[in-house]
Structure 1
Amino acid sequence: MAKPVGKTKDVGFQFGLQKTFPISEPKAWDFMFSDAGLKIWLGELVKSLELKKEYRTKDGINGLVRVFKPNSHIRMNWKKKEWENMSTVQVRVIGKGKNRTLISFHQEKLTDFNQRAEMKEYWNEKMDKITKEIKKASR
């Protein structure tokens, strides 16, 4: 029997999404961690993100910032309010040349194929919004 899409040996189900944008790495990082950028991909925060501190959004997403490396990535526990499980999300900003930067989302510790499908839809929607905002800003 074939292994289900996204099933891992150690961390349950996972999903990853990446896209390269025509923007410098510093501009991409600044956007992703600005209030406007955070509101798109994480939600409106009740208080600012801090390393080793819990966070919560007004929509009920909560977790703990585990790793925060400026101009590189953030890794955090991530849980929707209606979930019983806690997942892990990593967001990376990787320079690919003078004005090319890859933005990626990776989520693991999802319970099953259905939760993976839910998050695939969620992150694709977030990436579409990021794309629109970056296009708008570069006009």
Structure 2
Amino acid sequence: MTNPRIDNGYSEHQARKPVGQTSSVGFQVGVRRTLPLSQEQAWRLLTSPEGLSWWLGGLSALQLEPGQRFFSKEGTSGELRIVKPLEQLRLSWQRAGWEQASTLQIRLLAAAGGRTTISFHQEKLKDANVREQMKLYWEEVLARLTEKAEAK
């Protein structure tokens, strides 16, 4: 009979969840980058027509108010839930072809030297493959934001 108090590491390894999986929100991903912009400048860039197109897709218009729904030309849809100017956006976010919406939270955090960290956190993703796709997607969005910020 084996002693349940003795663990050779095998059972612990088997019980581990894949990277990014939680018991409460399924798969999640978070990426962040600090930009050489004030929070005001970062907010303006993120919510400008050009900035919105990078993370939402082509929109005819979007009012930044809770309850506003959006549908991009690329098929991304969702609804704004929380809008705190200069600080936070929380919304449902669903790509065309997805069975269910994810939750996306974007935060702007003050950083040293007058800079701002922009954080994208997405949860309720279908699986590890979608998690990896979205990690690459948000890294690309941050790369575009950084490129634009550094050109100023």
TM over 0.5: yes
Which residue of 97, 102, 117 maps to 1:102? Answer: 117
One-letter code of the match for 1:83?
A: W
Which segments of 5 or more consecutive residues in structure 1 lack a partner in the other structure? none
Give the TM-score taking structure 2 as reference length: 0.85
Give the TM-score taking structure 1 as reference length: 0.93
Structure 1: 4+ residue segments shifted above 3 A:
none
Which residue of 111, 114, 128 maps to 2:143? Answer: 128
Task: Give the aligned length.
Answer: 137
Which segments of 5 or more consecutive residues in structure 2 lack a partner in the other structure? 1-13
d(CA) in 1 for partners of 2:88, 2:128: 26
Q: Name the stretch that deviates more: 98-107 or 38-47.
A: 38-47
In structure 1, the partner of 2:37 is: 23
d(CA) in 2 for partners of 1:102, 1:118: 22
| Structure-to-structure mapping, 1:5-20, within 5 angstroms | 5-20=19-34
| Structure-to-structure mapping, 1:1-139, within 5 angstroms | 1=14, 2-49=16-63, 50-137=65-152
Shift of residue 98, structure 1, vs aligned partner: 4.4
Partner of 1:115, secondary structure, is helix
